[in-house]
Structure formats: structure tokens, C-alpha cells
Amino acid sequence: MNKEAIRTRIEEIGIVPAIRLFSAEDALFAVEAVSDSGIPIAEVTMTTPGALDVISGLAHKRPELIVGAGTVNDIETARRCLDAGAKFLTSPGLDIQVVEFAVKNQVVVLPGALTPSEIMAAWKAGADFVKVFPCSLLGGAGYIRALKSPFPNIPLIASGGVTQGNVADFILAGATGVGIGSDLINPEAVRRRERDWIRELAGRFLKTVQHARSQRAA
């Protein structure tokens, strides 16, 4: 799957699950559970123990999945993630060098940004999407709506505080997609290996995002 196909798939699904757990085993279970629930995308954060092993294992065993690396804060980490097989890179903040590294290596990149200046810088550097994080602390969906006015052509991924209760608001406000953590990858569901629990949550988020998109289009 090339860069364009990955970028298109992320935009089509509109949900980037953030896998931030306490072990490689938990992370592997979470990725497989959410992908089998209709969201074949996962951001395995570098704060998860054994994250690179999880990415590498999935890249070899489940090449159809779009497994990327999160919390990539420097070029050395970015290089290790790509070597492991990561199909996209994302970070909580903006590091232009990481963005440029991803562009040079033809890899989808979703840098974090918060202010209009950071969003402009990320886009000019070649970002495929700009992850607005932590979105909820600056007004949530209202902030996304305000940003889309001057930046109508920049695909924004709302992240930080996205829940079942407000995910539709972010899409209606103009977000291309959302990043979701524990509200989708429930830690207790992972601990108990409750696939159906995660499957139910994934189904709800997918339906809500699709419905909000149809409303926005109308």
C-alpha cells in the first residue's frame, strides 16, 4: 500500500485509534480487536512498552492493516519506526524535522499542532493531515470550526478529548477525522480481553462519524 492509498484510507475511515497501553501484549490485542471491528487503522504510541515490536509484528503478519507510530518526537525515533514497518507517523506536537523526514521517505505524517501558526507551518512542511491536539482544551468542536474558516483546505484531525458524546460535533465542525484513545480502546476491556466490548464501541464511533458526514454534506 503506497502513501496515497494510506492517506486516502485514513480519510475514508475518519478515525485514528490511539493505542497507549501498558504492555506489548495489550497493544497487540487492542490493535487486532479494533481492526477486526471495522477500523483497520491504529496508532501505536512510543510510550507503550515494546511498541516497535508490536509494529514490526503486525507489519509482517497483518500487512493489510494501516499501523502507524505515535508520539514520534525526533528523527531517530521516526527512523526506527519506519524500519519496524510503520505506515504513518504522528506526534503530539510539531517537529518540522520529523515532518520533512517523513516527506522525504514518502510516508504519511500527521504532526500535532495547536495554534494557527503551528498548523500553517505543519502544512507548509508537507503534512498529510494536521492533528489538532489537545483539541478539547481550546474549545473542542468550536475551535475546529474556527480553524476551518481560515484553513478550509487543510485536513484537520481532532484529537484529545474526543468521546462518543462529542465526536459528531467535531465532524460537523469540519474535522476530516478524529483521534480517539481510551474512549475507544477501553483499558478495562483490554485487561479482560473483551473483544465484543471494543467491537461495540468501534461500531458506535463508525456509525456516528458516517452519519455526521452525511449531515454535513447535506
pLDDT in tens, the chain (218 residues): 899 999 999 999 999 999 999 999 999 999 999 999 999 999 999 999 999 999 999 999 999 999 999 999 999 999 999 999 999 999 999 999 999 999 999 999 999 999 999 999 999 999 999 999 999 888 999 999 999 999 999 999 999 999 999 999 999 999 999 999 999 999 999 999 999 999 999 999 999 999 999 999 98
Domain region containing 79: 3-217
Q: How far apart are the first and last CA of the chain?
A: 32
In the structure grid, which three cell numbers stand for residue 140, read together?
A: 473542542
Sign of CA dihedral 67, 71, 77, 185: negative
Q: What is the structure's pLDDT at 78?
A: 98
User: Strand, coil or helix: what is 42?
Assistant: strand
| Catalytic center residues | 43, 131
State residue 67's pLDDT score. Answer: 98
pLDDT at 138: 86
Q: Residue 16: how many CA atoms within 13 Å on its side-chain side?
A: 35
Q: One-letter amino acid identity for 200?
A: E
CATH of the domain at 53: 3.20.20.70
Q: Using the 8-state DSSP alphabet, how is residue 102 labeled?
A: H
pLDDT for the residue 137: 85
CB distance 211 to 48 below 8 Å: no
Q: What angle do CA 60, 15, 125 make, to 5 degrees?
A: 85
Total count of domains within the chain:
1
Helix/strand/coil for 47:
coil
Task: Please list, in sequence order, all residues whose beta carbon lies within 8 angstroms of the beta carbon of residue 181, skipping any fewer than 6 positions away.
Answer: 17, 18, 20
Grid cell at residue 8: 486516502
Cell of 175: 474535522
